[in-house]
Amino acid sequence: MSRSADNNRTHHAVFAGVVGAAVLAASVAAQQNLNLPAREVTARTAAAAAKPDPLAFAAALASERIPAGFVIVGESTPSYDSAAISQYSMAPVSLTRAVDFFLKMHPGFTLEDQSAWALVLRSKERSSCDAPLRRSFRAPAISGSGLEAFWRLALLVSPDTIPQAPPGIVCGGGECSDLEPKTGLPVTIPPGELTLQDGLSQTAGQAGLVWLLQEVVSPQTGERSCRFSYFAGDSRMETGYVLGRSSRPR
């Protein structure tokens, strides 16, 4: 489904495309069918979809282990209170409805349907994240934690800027407990041709994470850079990986 078609079709129709893609991928690749549209989310997550900050929804999905990806243009500060999720007792709603709500509240976003592994919500605005995200490359077999898979994919796309050392996680505050869930569940990606978006979503789908590409602008130089981070459970994980740059003004 093309991006231009989004304006002419209902969000439900878009979501139906996701269902079809998911079923097709499951039958062809014999991989897990996440059946995302059939999932339910808490009313709290649905409410997060309405918040002005799109990252609130990303964090909410992560807290429910619903694999997703977000491409966002511009600075954003999550206002999401993850601690309140468990206290939220209202009736759940379908993920389809929550995404529909998100798209209505954020008309600058569109739902991509290429991935069977994860929901991908992206800004319609062009950004320095577009090129790396669509870049196709031949990937070796990748296995390891979600963090390791993300790192290997980033290395394939941007070998000059991504650290060569194996990735690690440190905690920046709080109790420093439960580090392991922050890396995500084990991931296996077979060797073959894939785009970065496919790789990220496969990783998110298997590891139960939400990936985020965010274009930010340097106030000093005006340079735009595409930065990668992800949400794991109730935590936001800052990798510091820069996957693309552009000096072209927005």
Partner 1 sequence: MSGRQEVGRRVGRIQITIAVVSLAVLWTSPVAAQNPSAGVSLWQDSGFQASASSQPQVETQSAAETLWYCEGFAASSEPWLNADVHLRLKLDSTILADAYYSANYWGATYTLSRTVAAEPYARTISCEILVQDMNGSASGSQSAQITPRTPQDLRSVPPDSFTYRSPGDYLRTGIWEVWDSYGLPWTYSGFPVTESFATGHNGCNLTFGTDSASTNSQGRFQDRCGNVTGNQTIPACALPQYQQCQTESTQTIVVAGYSFSHNVTWGCFDVQISRQ
Binding footprint of partner 1 on the chain (CB under 8 A):
77, 81-83, 147, 151, 163-180, 182, 232, 235-240
Beta-carbon contacts of 146 under 8 Å, excluding residues fewer than 6 positions away, are 183, 184, 185, 187, 203, 204, 206, 207, 208, 209, 230, 232
Report H helices in 189-239.
Answer: 196-207
CB of 171 to partner 1, least distance (A): 5
What's the min distance (Å) between Cβ of 182 and partner 1? 5
Give the separation between CA 26 and CA 1, rounded to whole angstroms. 19
Residue 83 or 91: which CB sits closer to partner 1? 83
Measured from the CB atom, is 148 or 198 closer to partner 1?
Answer: 148
Instruction: State how far the Cα of 33 lies from the Cα of 25, in Å rounded to an integer.
Output: 8
CA–CA distance, 190 with 24 (Å, rounded to integer): 18
Cβ closest to partner 1, residue 117 vs residue 228: 228
CA proximity to 202, closest of 26, 77, 71, 57:
26
CB of 219 to partner 1, least distance (A): 12
Residue among 15 and 230 whose Cβ is closer to partner 1: 230
DSSP letter, residue 54 = H
102 vs 231, beta carbon nearer partner 1: 231
Smallest separation (angstroms) from partner 1 to the CB of 173: 4
Q: What does the block give as tokens for 55?
A: 């990252």
CB of 161 to partner 1, least distance (A): 10
Exposed e or buried b for every residue in 185-198, given b needs 16+ CB within 10 A?
A: bebebeeeebbbbb
Residue type, position 225, single letter = S
State the Cα–Cα distance between residues 159 and 243, nearest whole angstrom.
9
* Smaller CB separation from partner 1, 18 or 59: 59
Instruction: Give dist(CA 37, CA 60) in Å, integer.
Output: 16
The C-alpha atoms of residue 186 and residue 196 are separated, in whole angstroms, by: 18
95-105 helix and 11-29 helix, angle to the nearest 10 degrees: 130
In the complex, what is the shortest distance from the CB of residue 191 to partner 1, in angstroms, rounded to a whole number? 23
**Nearest approach, Cβ of residue 79 and partner 1 (Å):** 10
Considering the complex, state which of residue 34 and residue 232 has its C-beta at the smaller distance from partner 1. 232
